Amino acid sequence: LAITVLVVGAVVSVVLMAPAPATAGGAEQIRGTAIDGSGDCNPVEDGVPVPLPIFPLYFPDEEGGMHGCLYTYPTSFQETPGGTIRERGHEIFVSHDDHTSRFETTYQYTAKFDKDGNQMYGRCQHPITEGTGIDDFEDVTGRFDIKDNIVNGVAVDFAYKGHLRFP
pLDDT in tens, 89-147: 999 999 999 999 999 999 999 999 999 999 999 999 999 999 999 999 999 999 999 99
pLDDT, mean over the chain: 86
Mark 17-31 as b/e (b = at least 16 C-beta within 10 Å): eeeeeeeeeebbbbb
pLDDT in tens, 10-20: 333 333 333 34
pTM for the whole structure: 0.83
Measured between alpha carbons, how far is 164 from 128 in angstroms, rounded to an integer?
Answer: 9
- Bridge-partner residues for 94, per DSSP? 69, 102
Q: Quick one: what percent of the chain has pLDDT higher than 90?
A: 76
